Amino acid sequence: MRSDEVAMRLARGRRHVPSPHGGKVFVTDMCGRHPCHLVDPFTGERTPLPDLPVPLSEEEPMPVLETDRSEPRYRLSTDDAFAWDWSPHGVIVARGDTVFFCKAGGDEWTPVHRSSHGSAMTVNYRGGFFFVLEELSLRTAVIDAETLDRSAEIDPPPRDGGVHLAFLVTSTDNVLLLVSRDGYRSTFTHAYRAHRPRQDGPVQWEQVKNIGDRTVFVDGAHGFTVRAGGRVRRNCVYV
């Protein structure tokens, strides 16, 4: 083995989801009580977590529609739709229609957000806040990572064609929303930046055409930016 290579220790579990911040991988079995933990992929150090929580939609009885009523506009989530991130205060996970938080060293998950439309969600941490994006409505809840209070809610950008993909991307100095519309399943057609037009006004999405010298990387559940350089091109998205 060359001196610049790192031997990666095996993290045993059925699902392994890395954090965009690095240094942590969420490991969980998808059977039984869904045991889970965090693991450092370089040292093998484990951080125990409570068993993966059950979405509220699976614990509460589903309402029965009367025969003369129309079908609901939004279908409920039927898959796991797992996403996660972490902060110095603890770990946040999205599963089904519910977002849960477990404080560092804690032994239980606390529900902090539930989608009213049964939407799958992504979760991202940046600058003391968790950003929860509902993929069906593109509505974003901003949650204080320390108090878990709702800090703000960002309305979705103007509807301009159907949405096929959407990623919320955290940056060192901003939050971006990347959207693929109009059938372009492998290309992001719109980019938005979170901003507050007035100091006392709400946070809104502003469409942008350029993200400067930053480069975006996205995976199945996260998005993050790095400064361009070398073989990494500026103002591009890598998927």
Q: What is the pLDDT of residue 185?
A: 57
Confidence bin at 103 (pLDDT 50/70/90): very high
Q: What is the pLDDT of residue 97?
A: 92
Q: What is the pLDDT of residue 116?
A: 82
Domains in the chain, ordered, with CATH? 7-54+75-156 (2.120.10.30), 161-239 (no CATH)
* Lowest model confidence (mean pLDDT) among 97-101, 184-188, 214-218: 184-188
Q: What is the pLDDT of residue 235?
A: 85
Q: pLDDT, tens digit, for every residue of 83-97? A: 999 999 999 999 999
Task: Give mean pLDDT, residues 226-232.
Answer: 85
Q: What is the pLDDT of residue 74?
A: 37
Q: What is the pLDDT of residue 65?
A: 43
- 125 touches 87 (CB < 8 A): yes
Q: pLDDT, tens digit, for every residue of 179-197? A: 887 665 567 788 898 888 8
Task: Give mean pLDDT, residues 137-152.
Answer: 94
pTM for this predicted structure: 0.80
